Structure 1
Amino acid sequence: MEERDGLIAMHQIQGIGWHTLHKLLKAGWSPAGELTLDLLRRLRDLRVPESTVERIRAKWTPSFVRRVKEELVRRRITALTVFDPEYPEYLKEIAQPPWVLYIRGDASLLSGICFAVVGTRKPTHYGRRMARKMASEIASRGWVVVSGMAAGVDSEAHRGALEAGGKTVAVLGTGVDVVYPRHLRRLYAELVEKGAVCSEMPPGTAPHPGLFPRRNRIISGLSVGTLVVEAAERSGALITADCSLEQGREVFAVPGPVTSEKSAGTNRLIQQGAKCVIGVQDILEEFPSLVPPSAEKSTEPSDLSPDERLLLSFIGDEPVHIDELRNQISLPPGELHRHLLSLQLKKRILQLPGARFVREG
């Protein structure tokens, strides 16, 4: 039996979490060896519950280890242990690195240059747009965008990276084979195909509120830095920012309107010393050794006519009504509508209900 196979199998026994595995190794357990009565006694001395000790004694056998290994292969789930050379180096540096990571998709992405993009589950239009824009620009530089596949900012970050043809990793608070929330099934499938999803929880683990804060330390632990796009004062995204600080990583925040509750947390982070980000260059300049020359900011040729550029200059992140545009620009109504349609087709603006327009890219 290989050491890694024994560790993975032990990790999948009900009730065996990070601390119990730590106590097993502290008691002298070898994942490639046998369970002895003396070892089980030492576990009791370390205050491992009797029910857990009995479960270990009954469950952990060579045949069980073999079944766990075969099942992972059958389901195309990669398992990386902290003993493996492929285990992400950045993640090894945190206080409690996962003993086992389960991955569907490209496991090598976890060892790339990763950068976390997180935020509220209920963002404003501004938050959604900024999450997608920032993630797209980060991914286009060759970095891997890491987030939590939650509704809102997280899912927008993953989509932004994928739309840019880049790579992205989702860290789940469930088993790696459990899609949560369910309405993100299509995004999950695309992440498995073009990126990766990972979790420290054994396959089949259902969502539970207590699991999500713990996964945040993995999001930040994989990453050289964390960008919080939009978050209220008590947003879970701020837990990821705290984890990033505790791990000695950089924290960034996108500013928002002072009147917006959804930006109260990010604005507070900036007050407390997080770097204010208004463009991807604000992030890249903090990591000069990680930015290849090809990733330097370039000027994109404009495909807009002079009238379209003028019209676009009056449309920003806040919705503007078509009547306001008419007052600002001296264009016949037909011309105005034609240019607005052209800007939408070029994905520069987005029309909202009520004849209002905002920037899209």
Structure 2
Amino acid sequence: MEDSTVSLYKCSVVEHEIMTELFEELDSDIIACDFKFTIFVAAAVSSDRGILLKPMPPMYINNDRTFNFDGLLEVIKVTPKFRDLHYYLKTEQFLQCSIDVIILLHWLLVLDSTPSIRYLNESDFEDFLSNTEGTIAPTNVFEICYDSESEIERTFQNRGEQYGFQFGFYGFDGPEQCFSVLCSGSLNPMNSNNNAASIYLTMNVIPCLNRSSYKPCWPQSICGTMLKCVAICQYISRPEYVQHLNDDNDVLIQLSEVVRPRYLIFFAANPARLPVASDTFFEDDSRAAADISQEIEDEPVPKISSNSGRRYMVFGFSAVTLAASLYVFKNNSLGLKDLLDYNIKDIFNRFSNIFDKFLTKIL
């Protein structure tokens, strides 16, 4: 029997309705929508996509229950930037929108919306204020919002009230693992039938990043095209399943059911410039129209220093000293190129204070 979701999309009378619903979803939180599609694409192009791309879009499941990955990848290839798509839908330029793209995104962002995700901007961190130095700041932070009335979430909360909750960091090998983790609420997408598979968490984000590498994602993404991913997880401190290691800096958890990812944090090698809040993303429609199909350009941000006067001293350096410094960096003479990479400095400059306060509050 043909899947009801596929049948729905074959009826042309609902095309305007699904475009309207997709527009409303993009309009409410375009960055969160972009993020979800970005990790979906990462899973779709992964060599482990048969495991990681769950759930699979029903319109790409063949009659023999095999997956039409080639057809899916063709649609991904022609998916426009989300700010362009938002503009097309808002101005009802429907001929600019591939119906296959609309169907895929409507399924992913509207129909398959549990759990929901929320982009956290600066105002969302105001409740986590404190002054902590030395934490690496992410490019983007997303909150995973589970259905509070679901049996899984209620059971988790009830057990946590009995044994207590704690937080830790979980590092992904790459963003391709995030989609199935987001949809399942489990940190074991590769071992979905083994709840006893061990999970390692750390109390510091840096070891997670050291074990990860930047991996390519959707080229049109607002969030960046080369990403590292870390989850902030809440776990139940149930002694028979939780073991603290290395002076309590690491945690070994032997039952995945006592762990829930609560936030996904991303570190971009080439971050795009983001708006402060998604609901003001298209305040100026004429400006949005002029920006269609243009690449997002990064703007360099001055390096943050504990002594603000130091930034002004840079301008006093001689041309010879500057040239020598650039030569050392370009040729990695001191072995520090990765630490001084522009994109990492950009991440520190724009978000470090916000994320330091956020981590101190939840951990």
Common topology (TM > 0.5): no
* TM-score bracket for this pair, using the shorter chain length: under 0.3
TM-score for the superposition, normalised by structure 2: 0.25
TM-score for the superposition, normalised by structure 1: 0.25
Which has the higher relative contact order, 1 or 2, with Cα contacts under 8 A spaced 6 or more apart?
A: 2
Larger CA Rg, structure 1 vs 2:
1
